[in-house]
Amino acid sequence: MADQVKKEKKAPNYIKRIIIFAIVLVVFLFLVNPQWLFFLPQETRNTMSRAWGDFFGGSTEQVTRVVQFNWINILKIVVIVLLLLMINWVIKFILSKINPKSGKGKSLLSMAKSFSTWMIAIIGVIWGLAAIGVNVSTIFASVGIVALVVGFAAQSLIEDIVTGIFLVFEDEFNVGDIIEFNGFRGTVTSIGIRVTSIQDPAGNIKVVNNSDIRNILNRSKNSSAAICEIPISYAANVEETEKVLLEICETLPEMYPDVFPTAPTYLGVNSFEASSVNLKFVAKVDETNIYKAVRLMNREMKIGMDKAGIEIPFQQVVVHEAKEEV
């Protein structure tokens, strides 16, 4: 249901972007070609041409000679945009039908989706420039002149891309893994060419540039420890309590096989508090079930202790009354 709502919200935004792009394109074309504004007096159009000529540092005719603005080329651009959008939709549809089971496969799929979007955008820009008469080969021939400038400007972008590729192929973490990064703990939802998305249990999404991902803790690599401390009263019999709780631990894998692959382990008396003796238990579970396992252990042990008549302590205050000598 939530995915359907997201798709319904995403579709209008997609159409909205296309409309905004078309409006901006049309406005720009009219601005650099004032003679197209047939509803304005000729004198006004000539004034606008001179004004834009001063702005561009020359006549707008010089621009239109290099860049061929006409309705045929506008139609070409519209067709190119629609065609690329359709291709992008087909690619995303095909990739959405692929359902890899491994984290590595999900990471590669996420990277492929991001890569396809970037490639279609680059192809669209080059194709659009060629459609309006820009000599694209000349631009590529002059790349050597501006390579240094672009290199410095896009240094962060290139670093993000390279780091993203290494993250996937070095298997540091994959889509679906639970990681900790700068105090933020969450599940990796996507690894893109430029950014990685991490979602915490509350649904908050943190988007991080790939180049900024350092010193992470991958909690999905190994089993995690769900630690549970059970307080009992000082008046309770420790040995009898241990026996009852160990029996409960043995039943947990049968009751909750999806959470407890094995029975929790009893580590012994962990501490003496002001009003309780604390017994410590630990269960090896999947990281996704670490909090659920603690809640289940607390519940079942409380029920078992109530049935066995074992007192769970509460804070007590002992008051000594001094007696005056007569």
One digit per residue, the tens of pLDDT, for the chain of length 326 reads: 444 444 444 444 556 666 666 676 666 666 666 666 666 677 777 776 666 666 555 555 554 554 555 667 777 777 887 888 888 888 888 888 888 777 667 777 777 877 787 788 778 777 777 776 666 665 555 555 455 445 555 567 777 777 777 777 777 788 888 888 888 888 888 888 788 889 888 888 888 888 888 778 887 777 788 899 999 888 888 899 999 999 999 999 999 999 999 999 999 999 888 888 899 999 988 888 888 999 999 999 999 998 888 888 776 566 666 666 65
Asked if 137 and 193 sit in the same domain, the reply is yes
Torsion of CA 213, 181, 225, 221, to 10 degrees: -10
Q: Are residues 216 and 228 in the same domain?
A: no
Same domain? For 110 and 182 the reply is: yes
Clarify whether residues 236 and 301 are in a common domain.
Answer: yes
- Yes or no: say if 220 and 177 are a contact pair by the CB < 8 Å rule: yes
CATH number reported for the structural domain that contains residue 158 in this entry: 2.30.30.60
Q: Do 111 and 209 belong to one domain? A: yes
Q: Does residue 283 lie within any of the structural domains?
A: yes
Q: Are residues 243 and 138 in the same domain?
A: no
Owning domain of residue 140? 103-116+125-220
Residues 171 and 241 both lie in one domain:
no
Q: How do residues 281-292 score in pLDDT, each as one tens digit?
A: 999 888 888 889
- Same structural domain, 107 and 211: yes
Identity of the residue numbered 13:
N
Q: Is residue 30 situated within a structural domain?
A: no
Has residue 146 been placed in a domain? Answer: yes
Please give the pLDDT value at position 316.
Answer: 59
Asked whether residue 111 falls in the same domain as residue 173, the answer is: yes
Q: Does the residue 256 lie in any domain?
A: yes
| Confidence at residue 11, expressed as pLDDT on a 0 to 100 scale | 45
CATH of the domain at 231: 3.30.70.100
How would you label 180-215 residue by residue, b for 16+ Cβ within 10 Å and e otherwise? Answer: ebeeeebbbbbbbbbbbbbeeeeeeeeebebbebee
Residue 304 lies inside a defined structural domain of this protein:
yes
Identify whether 65 is part of a domain: no
What pLDDT sits at residue 134?
Answer: 63
- Looking at the structure of the chain, the number of domains it has is 2
Q: What is the predicted pLDDT for the residue at 267?
A: 92
Domain end (from 161, 195, 220): 220
Residues 186 and 274 in one domain: no
Distance, in Å, from the CA atom of 198 to the CA atom of 231, rounded to the nearest integer, reads 36
Strand bridging mode 195-199 / 217-218: unpaired
What distance in Å separates the CA atoms of residue 114 and residue 186, rounded to the nearest whole number? 21
270 within a domain of the structure (yes/no): yes
Please give the full DSSP string across 189-228, using - where no structure is assigned. Answer: EEE-SSEEEEE-TTS-EEEEEGGG--S-EETTSSPEEEEE
Tell me what pLDDT residue 162 has. Answer: 77
Do 213 and 245 belong to one domain?
no
Q: Do 216 and 230 share a structural domain?
A: no
The string of pLDDT tens digits covering residues 208-261 is 888 888 778 887 777 788 899 999 888 888 899 999 999 999 999 999 999 999
Let me know if residue 300 belongs to a domain: yes
